[in-house]
């Protein structure tokens, strides 16, 4: 446990897109965290030295883990390396944040969770999209469903794009057994959000495929996952690479009305453009991006038909790191736990099983 007055020194393993766009700017913007070091196999670079001149640069993770000044290690490597690097970091006495997806298998996630408890270390997974502006808005609507949409009967969540070619990165050229493909990449977000909103389902049914059939990419680039609950609720999660016409990001259907939201959260693009949470415009969606609601409200016995836009909440990826900081300091509970992240991987593995067998599978087997 660290004192609130003592900065938590953070070392980041990897300096690819994830570290550059998300982790480094967010860590640098979070009170109580001190971005101290990076692991970059090629050594110091202009991008590193210009943006983070005070940070040390190591060429191996072993060097970082041997640095006694490092309190928290952030792992932003390809998915196959997550388990072993997290294990080594925990055994070195470090707190750990792992980029999503947590691990390749459920068993690996549970082992790391147990290891973190054995060493009394904080272990979390970067499920940053719990702090998307639109998801925070959906969360409020679900929590207030009795007074807004009525009992929720259907939830749809999609990440679609149009890219009929491969970028030839490891996510598209690896194997599903290595955690490559769009299922591990994007369903890790969508499953996590669904579990936060509605808890564990009773059954899961999935179709996972390679629609583009590119010579350079043999892994899945499309998925459709259905989560079925005891009360009749169905969650539909999907993603694809050939959606030239935009599809809804979210659709909520209740007994009294519906909510529909188009477009992705603004924070990723803002971070890519150099806008950080220190800027007052960060995380704010424009009004033309807000979702729309059409529902019946009962106000003191009077039924009102309400139709219009719903103000989006303010997106806040920095809140993820602020929470990790609090958990390490012992001033608040951890929001994204290793156990939660492991169950997301369980869902992904069930989706692979369901798609291969063509059968619905029970969540608990």
- What span, in angstroms and rounded, lies between the C-alpha atoms of 53 and 28? 12
Closest CA to 227 of 358, 122, 335, 360: 360
Identify the pLDDT of residue 4. Answer: 66
Q: What is the pLDDT of residue 294?
A: 98
**Residue 326: its pLDDT value, please?**
98
Write out pLDDT tens, residues 245-298.
999 999 999 999 999 999 999 999 999 999 999 999 999 999 999 999 999 998
What pLDDT was estimated at residue 1?
Answer: 53
Do residues 320 and 336 touch, judged by C-beta distance below 8 A?
yes
SS3 17: helix
Per residue in 42-58, pLDDT (tens digit) is 767 777 888 999 999 99
Per-residue 3-state assignment (H helix, E strand, C coil) for 120-142: CCCEEEECHHHHCHHHHHHHHHH
Alpha carbon distance 268, 258 (integer Å):
27
Which pTM was predicted?
A: 0.95
Low-confidence ranges of the chain (pLDDT < 70): 1-4, 43
Helix (H) or strand (E) holding 47: helix 46-51
């Amino acid at each position: 446990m660290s004192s609130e007055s003592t900065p938590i020194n953070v070392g980041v393993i990897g300096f690819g897109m994830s570290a550059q766009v998300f982790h480094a700017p967010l860590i640098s913007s979070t009170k109580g965290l001190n971005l101290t070091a990076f692991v970059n196999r090629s050594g110091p670079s202009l991008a590193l030295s210009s943006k983070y001149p005070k940070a040390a640069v190591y060429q191996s993770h072993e060097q970082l883990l041997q640095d006694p000044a490092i309190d928290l290690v952030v792992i932003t490597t390809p998915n196959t390396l997550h388990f072993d690097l997290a294990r080594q970091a925990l055994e070195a006495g470090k707190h750990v944040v792992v980029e999503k997806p947590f691990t390749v298998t459920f068993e690996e996630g549970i082992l790391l969770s147990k290891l973190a408890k054995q060493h009394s270390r904080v272990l979390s997974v970067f499920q940053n999209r719990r702090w998307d502006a639109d998801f925070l808005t959906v969360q409020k609507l679900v929590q207030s469903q009795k007074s807004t949409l009525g009992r929720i009967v259907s939830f749809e969540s999609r990440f679609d794009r149009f890219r009929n070619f491969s970028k030839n990165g490891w996510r598209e050229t690896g194997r599903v057994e290595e955690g490559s493909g769009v299922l591990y990449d994007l369903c890790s977000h969508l499953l996590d959000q669904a579990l936060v909103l509605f808890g564990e389902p009773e059954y899961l049914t999935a179709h996972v495929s390679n629609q583009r059939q590119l010579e350079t990419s043999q892994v899945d680039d499309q998925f459709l996952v259905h989560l079925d609950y005891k009360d009749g609720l169905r969650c539909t999660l999907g993603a694809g690479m050939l959606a030239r016409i935009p599809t809804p990001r979210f659709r909520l259907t209740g007994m009294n009305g519906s909510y529909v939201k188009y477009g992705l959260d603004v924070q990723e693009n803002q971070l890519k453009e150099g806008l950080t949470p220190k800027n007052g415009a960060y995380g704010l969606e424009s009004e033309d991006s807000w979702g729309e609601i059409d529902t019946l409200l009962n106000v003191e016995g009077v039924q009102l038909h309400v139709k219009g836009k719903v103000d989006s909440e303010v997106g806040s990826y920095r809140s993820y790191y602020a929470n990790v900081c609090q958990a390490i300091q012992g001033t608040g509970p951890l929001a994204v736990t290793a156990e939660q992240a492991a169950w997301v991987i369980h869902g992904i593995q069930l989706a692979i099983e369901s798609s291969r067998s063509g059968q619905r599978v029970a969540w608990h087997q």
